[in-house]
Amino acid sequence: MTAPQKIILAPSILAGDFGNFARDAQRVEQGGGDWLHCDVMDGHFVPNITFGPDTIAAFRKATKLPLDVHLMIERPDQYVDRFIDASADHLIVHLEAQHDVARTLQQIRARGKWAGLAINPDTPPIKAAPFLDQIDELLVMTVHPGFGGQAFLPEMLSKLQELRFIAGDDLPIIVDGGINPETGRQCVEARANILVAGNSLFRHKTLNLAEAIAELRRHATD
Ligand code: DX5
Ligand code: ZN
């Protein structure tokens, strides 16, 4: 299968230095990242806590890149407005969270922002089907959400192909978790077109961030 021409790379700031977020957001922009992926975790929906709207506002000051905000929180409906006020560009909410999904998506679009839907590894593709015409991007978790640095789940590749079949050619599909040049390439072959990557970029053994971004892009698009 041939890869789509344009692959978007969204480095995940979760793997950056929490004491130097502004610097790392700038490094992503200067290093050739397309979007800045920002993982918001509340300690309820996932067993980890990261950051909230004030930090998103700080990223906005540091970079012009689109802020792709992945809300791993129990009640996204109660917080999307605050994240939009903080200059988030894309708001991604989980299908498995406690909210009226269609309504939250509508709430995001009503404010002129990209509405994204994320699904966990155990959620069957068919559950996303009713929402596909209400979203601007679909995020397929390729690890169980909560922590960076986990191993890619290879069984997500067939799920990706199925979702691409259901969604059609035009919906941007993001993969998130355990993405490196090898798994990224496999996901592109399975017709994902946006790659989130944290550890493989920020904590590469030999390459700096810009070099690691370039390597991932080369593998994904060759
Ligand atoms: C995990 C997050 C991911 C994470 C990916 O719950 O949603 O965005 O940052 O990190 P890596 O690429 O290290 O698996
Ligand atoms: Zn994420």
Q: Is the CB of 53 under 6 A from ligand 1?
A: no
Q: Does the active-site annotation cover 136?
A: no
- The per-residue b/e assignment along 166-178, b for 16 or more CB within 10 angstroms, e otherwise, is ebeeebbbbbbbb
pLDDT tens digit at each of 222 positions of the chain = 444 459 999 999 999 999 999 999 999 999 999 999 999 999 999 999 999 999 999 999 999 999 999 999 999 999 999 999 999 999 999 999 999 999 999 999 999 999 999 999 999 999 999 999 999 999 999 999 999 999 999 999 999 999 999 999 999 999 999 999 999 999 999 999 999 999 999 999 999 999 999 999 999 988
Please identify, by atom number, the ligand 1 atom nearest to the C-alpha of residue 199. 13
- Say which amino acid occupies 26: Q
The pTM score is 0.97
Judge contact between 213 and 3, C-beta under 8 A: no
Give the Å distance between the CA of 222 and the centre of ligand 2.
25
57: number of Cβ within 10 Å: 16
- To the query of whether residue 34 is one of the catalytic residues in this protein, the response is no
DSSP assigned state of 12: B
DSSP letters, 33-102, are -SSEEEEEEBSSSSS-B---HHHHHHHHHH--S-EEEEEE-S-GGGTHHHHHHTT-SEEEEETTSSS-HH
CA distance 143 to 150: 7
